[in-house]
Structure 1
Amino acid sequence: MAAQRYGSLIRVREDKLEEYKRLHAAAWPGVLRMIKECHIQNYSIYYKDGFLFSYFEYTGTDFDADSAKMAADPETQRWWEVCKPCQQPLETRAEGEWWASMEEVFHLD
């Protein structure tokens, strides 16, 4: 089965951009391990003009279950609490989202 690709978007608070970069330059090992345990690979975050763009590939078979596993992890919860003050969600995000999901409109392998 091919990997499922995900893109999402959020604003970064300009006064917190450097802090956000520092956090991710030294991401916590337990958080990185949980990402991999939840079948996520090729995970990248890009910055441009006040926005963060996230891209990753999901290789598992139950994205909802793996997402719930990650959300239940205490270390991941602490990481998110450290990162949240740096972020400003989009008003147009779907209910229950922090990062707004994006529609893929083109892909070439």
Structure 2
Amino acid sequence: MKGHRVATVIRLPPEKEAEYRALHSAVWPDVLVAAVTGPCQRPLDTAAEGQRWAPAEEIFHLD
């Protein structure tokens, strides 16, 4: 089975956007094991009931 990429979006407080992008664009190998972006995240109003994520622009991938 061939995998596919999934890009999602979550609400970020404006003052956290640069930090969030930096965490994803210059990720250290240890961070791949334990993501540290949780404190930056807030669910979007447009997210489905019980969901935190919605489609987004891809800014990070491993290949």
TM-score by length of 1: 0.36
Deviating above 6 A after TM superposition, structure 1's stretches of 4 or more consecutive aligned residues are: none
Change (3 A) 1:7 1:19: closer
The gaps in structure 2 that reach 5 residues or longer are 56-63
RMSD over equivalenced CA pairs, Å: 2.5
The one-letter amino acid paired with 1:6 is: V
Work out the CA distance in 2 between the residues paired with 1:6 and 1:87.
Answer: 17
Q: How many aligned residue pairs are there?
A: 54
Change (3 A) 1:7 1:24: closer
Change (3 A) 1:29 1:10: same
Work out the CA distance in 2 between the residues paired with 1:19 and 1:30.
Answer: 17
Over the matched positions of the two proteins, sequence identity in percent amounts to: 35
The one-letter amino acid paired with 1:24 is: H
More strand by share: 1
The gaps in structure 1 that reach 5 residues or longer are 35-75, 103-109
Structure ID, larger Rg:
1
Q: For each residue in 1:79-108, what CA deviation from the matched residue of structure 2 results, as whole angstroms up to 9, or x when unmatched?
A: 33xx2232221133342x43x244xxxxxx
TM-score by length of 2: 0.52
Change (3 A) 1:23 1:2: closer
